[in-house]
Chains A and B, each alone.
Chain A
Amino acid sequence: MYNFDVETPGTVADAVAALGRDEAQALGGGQTLIPTLKQRLASPSVLVSLTGVAEMKGVCVGDDGQLCIGGATTHATVASEARAHYAGLAELASHIGDPAVRNRGTIGGSLANNDPSACYPAAALGSGATIVTNARSIAADDYFEGMFSTALDEGEIITEVRFPIPQAANYQKFLQPASRFALVGVFVAKYAEGVRVAVTGASNDGVFRWTEAETALASNFSADAVSGLALSGDDMISDLHGTGDYRAHLVGVMTKRAVAAAA
């Protein structure tokens, strides 16, 4: 680790101000950033810890019926407090990493990092969530811009994530054997307006919507509806743990399982 200063703001406004310092970096639960720092792969001058910002924590249902989760809310809190409102999301949160990760890692941190194998991006995109920052609101469809890339500007903080609550939803994760991140994860959510299917872990472009499956499921929300569909492995991640073709195949399997579990 290189030396750095630490700021611990108590409000979003103070956090934004602190992030204005030269080479400042926001720190959520630190589940990615701290290991990166330990390996000396990043050298921010200032870490701005968001865990003390009370207004960014907690789970509630807004007046519009959406589930609102503060950006600094841990996975463990989402797993317990969102369950009564959005079980599919709570279930996803309850299987991220291990207990230590879930008690430190935050939803805002995960979405800001946009790891191509992370779980939350699938939930946000699959739910058509809104990413609320200190400056604006961004629709999930406009937010994810590829592996580790998002619409966030420098110094912009995710203060809240708003999830429309679906009629039914489920997330199926096929574990990469070593890291136990998603080798492929598929989030399926059924709304009155239609079905959304979001895939994480698989694509070289990060989380994406499988629109073909969404169309098929909109008229027939059953596993059979996606049986005939296939994705190409060409644009999928290919590594030690699976070829692009294998990942493409798993997307189909996990989608079917998610639909079966949700229906």
Chain B
Amino acid sequence: MPKDGGIGASSKRREDVRFLTGAGNYTDDINIRGQAHVFFLRSDVAHGTITSINTSAAEAMPGVVKVFTGTDFEAVGGMPCGWQVTDKHGQPMQEPRHPILAHGKVRHVGEPVAAVVAETLEQARDAAEAIELDIAELPAVVDMKAAVAGDAPKVHDDLTSNLCYDWGFVEENKTATDEAFANAAHVTTLELVNNRLVANPMEPRVAVGDYARGTGDSTLYTTSQNPHVIRLLMGAFVLGIPEHKLRVVAPDVGGGFGTKIFHYQEEAFCTFAAKACNRPVKWTSSRSEAFMSDAHGRDHVTKIELALDGNNNFAAIRTETFANMGAYLSTFAPSVPTWLHGTLMAGNYRTPLIYVNVKAVFTNTVPVDAYRGAGRPEATFQLERVIDKAARELGVDPIALRRQNFITEFPYATPVAVEYDTGNYVATMDKLEEMGDLSGFAERRAASEAKGKWRGLGVNCYIEACGIAPSNLVGQLGARAGLYESATVRVNATGGLVVMTGSHSHGQGHETSFAQVVADMIGIDENMVEIVHGDTANAPMGMGTYGSRSLAVGGSAMVRATEKIIAKAKKIASHLLEASESDIELKDGAFSVAGTDKSVAWGDVTLAAYVPHNYPLEEIEPGLEETAFYDPSNFTYPSGAYACEVEVDPDTGKVTIERFTAVDDFGNVVNPMIVTGQVHGGLAQGIGQALLENCAYDENGQLLSASYMDYAMPRADDLPMFSVDHSCQTPCTHNPLGVKGCGEAGAIGSPPSVVNAVVDALQSGGKDVTHIDMPLSPARVWAAMQ
């Protein structure tokens, strides 16, 4: 029976009322009296030396407040990188300076070179056209392998090369892995590209900087997934503003998908310029700017090898990946191809030896960083593609090969440093075969063939490390931040609660699901609980939302704080009931004395806390407000099994998805409807990557897919009705809710099954195609058929 409230109920998303009726408060809705507007003059070449920049004509234009160039920022810090990776020789990565406005050189199309602050945006734009900018163009570095060749031009003249780091993991396993390959009965090799993507949240980035001359306080309103992180990075590392003099507000945010985690130049600029101009300064990204200034995702080129013994057991995996960093290191870029990728290479399988090599490369392209899944989709894609290829080469059923190698005993320590606490991969695969009616595939294939279409079935599993992350562990791995979360629960005198969380909601529905958790713990109506987030002035220290961490880490902090509330409320209740505290029970919003009919309502206890006339003031403080910090002891490991069925039109190469089944194990589920919605969104993005999306540069570093005319986003009619299940639940063993996180799963789990299905379809049509690089556009599929 579906519940009608609390944990497990599909409560309707309360935030949708304002989102769907135009009543949201997004950053672009914020306009401050006296605000000026900034327009950024951006580089239209990928690589060049700034030979001269003359702003005097621009400064004389109507409405211009001030014109800024790179020299105005010599006294402040560069954009910081939050993760330092150590290479296979024990050396730190190469870390270039990342200026707010280009200084000396430009290194990618779209890099801001100058900024005009004016009374109106049009005036700022007019003046920007009057800036006399001369750039001596240099040869662009675009292809990663060419970038690390000896004669390649350098993106950063002060670095030794374009190689950011050469990472080996686990370096101690390399020799044994190589030996396993030498002794293998069968080796399957696959070279593939994980295509570069643009996140494209519906709401482009916006920043409004404000400075209060009277107090010296700065405020930044910004489209961020983690306002506290921005406050720390921008305050401490870029502008030198102490955190107590800087407030960062991320109000309603219209989608993030990772690209709004990072600290961007425009945020630092608006905060800096607001003080310099003594005016609020606002920037709203155009969609064109978003394409060339939001951090991109993925962009790996990989060779993976799978060694099997004579019984088709996986013996070893060896990979070599080139990972594009773009022109500069975005905030968490170095961690994505390393600790979020290498540690997942075991997948759902017992593979005793794994060696992962990653070469991170600077190129004259937009910086690349985390995008929904971040490293884990890249790991899943290569692993699940090479397993499929191996099954085909060996002539065995791809599902049987996976089942044979599944990890079945937990906890399981992988050879790539992580320990899975729990999971049941057999159960999810069983459920997939049943829900996806895989036994009926042959019949469906025959029906497709009767209409002249080739039908294919693709299956894959996935594992992800979510609930990011144990601080002590990531500290050892190079993180320059802790990854705990916090929550403050404030109970009001009349019994309602305000929960202030460091997690941030930008589409995930936290205001609903978090309220369900707290209400369930106390036994009150969830409408008595309000979730507050997104403002460093009224939320406790928090690390924000990414890596499917909000419920697993932020929710756990909330549970801990609520437990403290309940413990104190019981003390108050025991006083009011004149009973021993140990006899007090909380159920359905009332405190009762065990074994008696004596009880006191939640509201009476909360009122007593704030009107302490009859109250044990000598023992406990009045009030009912608690804060908790939660630092996870391990990652969480959601897993699942996905099946995709496609039809390929042999005449045109066009792929259509006919069926898609996703079976996920997210552990316990708080709001099944929201979880289903998260999976739907993830699937759309994963299928978008597999079939449609492609961020492409030409050899000169010009962005070819710089608008929706050329960058294909998935639309509703590109997708089938999804069949989604999350009834296979192995609760996480180490967080109080037993939850694992669901935000990224769909995007991680879906691309390999799509590609596996297309290869299967082409094989059924008699085409000996073993791989096609994403996106599987009609033109690419047709070319592969020729």
Contacts and interface: CB of A to CB of B under 8 A. Distances in A.
B779 A242 contact: yes
Interface string A1-12: 100000000000
B120 interface: no
Interface string B673-712: 0000000000000000001101010000000110011111
Given A39-B288, A240-B705, A253-B652, A178 B712 contact: yes
A241 B651 contact: no
A246 B782 contact: yes
Nearest to A1: B122
- Most B CB contacts (10 A, CB to CB) among A174, A179, A240, A249 go to A240
A174 B710 contact: no
Contacts of A183: 778
Contacts of B704: 240
Contacts of B713: 178
Interface residues of B, number: 23
Judged by DSSP, the binding face of B is loop
Contacts of A243: 779, 783
Contacts of A40: 125
Contact of A250 (B652, B709, B711): B652
Given A240-B694, A240-B705, A253-B651, A178 B711 contact: yes
Contacts of A253: 651-652
A178 B782 contact: no
Interface string B740-778: 000000000000000000000000000000000000011
Given A240-B705, A246-B783, A177 B777 contact: yes
Contacts of B288: 39
Nearest to B713: A178
A130 to B, nearest CB: 31
Nearest to A39: B288
B614 to A, nearest CB: 66
A181 B692 CA distance: 15
Interface in A48-88: none
Contacts of A242: 777-779
A243 B777 CA distance: 12
A68 to B, nearest CB: 33
Given A174-B652, A177-B778, A178-B711, A240 B783 contact: no
A178 B783 contact: no
Contacts, number: 45
Contacts of A246: 778-779, 782-783
A243 B122 CA distance: 40
Given A240-B704, A253-B652, A178 B710 contact: yes
Contacts of B779: 241-243, 246
A177 B696 CA distance: 15
B709 A178 contact: yes
A181 B708 CA distance: 11
Interface string B327-355: 00000000000000000000000000000
A147 to B, nearest CB: 15
Nearest to A184: B652
Nearest to B692: A177
A3 to B, nearest CB: 8
A253 B654 CA distance: 12
A174 B649 CA distance: 12
A149 to B, nearest CB: 20
Nearest to B129: A40
A242 B122 CA distance: 38
B652 A178 contact: no
Contacts of A181: 709
A249 B704 CA distance: 24
Contacts of B709: 178-179, 181
Contacts of B782: 246, 249
Nearest to B715: A180
Interface in A124-183: 174, 177-179, 181, 183
A179 B710 contact: yes
Contacts of B651: 253
B42 to A, nearest CB: 13
A19 to B, nearest CB: 26
Nearest to A174: B652
Nearest to B704: A240
Contacts of B783: 243, 246
A37 to B, nearest CB: 12
Interface string B646-658: 0000011010000
A72 B652 CA distance: 35
B696 A240 contact: yes
Contacts of A240: 694, 696, 704-705, 710
B155 to A, nearest CB: 24
A248 to B, nearest CB: 12
A40 B129 CA distance: 11
Interface in A231-263: 240-243, 246, 249-250, 253
Contacts of A1: 122
- Most A CB contacts (10 A, CB to CB) among B288, B651, B692 go to B651
Nearest to A117: B709
A174 B777 CA distance: 12
- Most A CB contacts (10 A, CB to CB) among B125, B710, B779 go to B779
Interface string A202-222: 000000000000000000000
A1 B122 CA distance: 8
Contacts of B708: 178-179
A181 B710 CA distance: 10
A242 B652 CA distance: 11
Interface string A178-197: 11010100000000000000
What 8 A-B pairs come out closest when comparing CB atoms? A178-B712, A242-B779, A177-B712, A179-B709, A253-B651, A246-B779, A178-B710, A177-B692
Interface of A: 1, 39-40, 174, 177-179, 181, 183, 240-243, 246, 249-250, 253
Given A174-B778, A242-B778, 17 more contacts: A39-B288, A40-B125, A174-B654, A178-B692, A178-B705, A178-B708, A181-B709, A240-B694, A240-B705, A240-B710, A241-B779, A242-B777, A242-B779, A246-B779, A249-B782, A253-B651, A253-B652
Interface of B: 122, 125, 288, 651-652, 654, 691-692, 694, 696, 704-705, 708-713, 777-779, 782-783
24 contacts: A1-B122, A39-B288, A40-B125, A174-B654, A177-B692, A177-B712, A177-B777, A177-B778, A178-B705, A178-B708, A178-B713, A183-B778, A240-B696, A240-B705, A241-B777, A241-B779, A242-B778, A243-B783, A246-B778, A246-B779, A246-B782, A250-B652, A253-B651, A253-B652
